[in-house]
Amino acid sequence: MKTNHLSTALLSLGLFLLAAACSKESADISNDPGQAGSITRFAVHNGFMYALNPNQVRTFSLENPDKPQLVHTLTTDYGLETIIIYDNTIFLGSRTALYILDIANPAAPSILSQTQRGEFLFGGCDPVVVKDNFAYSTIKIIENVCGRFASQSALMVYDVSNRNAPANVGVHFMSLPNGLGYKDNYLFVCDEGTDRLEVFDISDPMNTRTTSFSVAVADPVDLIVKGDKMIVSSKTEFRFFDISNIADIRPLGRISK
């Protein structure tokens, strides 16, 4: 294991977060999806676990944690990829759409809405994060990996203030975007195609724009934001950054996988 002068305190924080949340197969309980990473396939909320199959959301009661009980199955179109829970609402990223689910009855989620995408954006892998009334989802197009070949990968911005009728309000074309997260008014997006962590200004979500604060990271996959610290997971290592000043993101160290 390499720490490269990483402080003991930061290393402890990193290991805690990675163990608790950085896996692609787990999700945080809270309303802060950035702490769990965005590439997640199950989530826990109010005594229930929601797990994804390619075309199903399966709800398990955790009343007896030693024996989770399947209590509901919701069928969707094929291609579910990721799940987060924000503001007592489930957001699903799929290969074809963004789904929004109502969990007013947590034992039986129901579909509130499903977005539509143009043909040139069909077939991507879709992590999603939500902040206030806006959802941000990346579409990563790779032939034979995320579905059929399509022409363009992108960051999509949705106005989800009306959960029953989300509206696409922005498309930002990228190379091979992966996981994403945010701090305050800045959105961080892992772009494997450019080997960079791209930073977007989302202070005005209707006019989301790129900044000059991108950071070089080889093959970035997903990230976790915790206060003024960020952990980026790549194919070979975990990178640690100080993001207290977004205009001057500073590397703190790394841990090899």
Q: Dump pLDDT digits (tens) for 68-103.
A: 999 999 999 888 989 999 999 999 988 888 999 999
Q: Which of 27, 24, 8, 34 is nearest to 188 (CA)?
A: 34
Per-residue pLDDT at 78: 86
Domain assignment present for residue 241? The answer is yes
Strand partners, 96: none
Domain assignment present for residue 81? The answer is yes
Domain holding 99: CATH number?
2.130.10.10
Per-residue pLDDT at 215: 94
Q: Which of 22, 131, 36, 117 is nearest to 79 (CA)?
A: 117
Q: Which of 178, 217, 175, 181 is nearest to 200 (CA)?
A: 181
Domain assignment present for residue 14? The answer is yes
Domain assignment present for residue 2? The answer is no
Domain assignment present for residue 205? The answer is yes
Reported pTM: 0.83
Domain assignment present for residue 117? The answer is yes
> Is the pLDDT at 242 greater than 90, yes or no?
yes
Single-letter code of the amino acid located at 127: P
> Is the pLDDT at 189 greater than 70, yes or no?
yes
Number of domains in the chain: 1
Per-residue pLDDT at 9: 42
Pairing of strands 134-139, 153-159: antiparallel
Ramachandran category for residue 26: left, alpha or beta (phi over 0 → left; psi -120 to 50 → alpha): beta
Domain assignment present for residue 3? The answer is no
Domain that includes residue 202, residue range: 8-256
Domain assignment present for residue 105? The answer is yes
> In the structure, what pLDDT confidence band is assigned to residue 125 with cuts at 50, 70 and 90?
low
CA R_g for the chain: 18
Per-residue pLDDT at 139: 85
Q: Quick one: how far is CA 51 from the chain centroid?
A: 15
- What's the mean pLDDT in 142-171? 79
Q: Which of 85, 21, 51, 59 is nearest to 224 (CA)?
A: 21
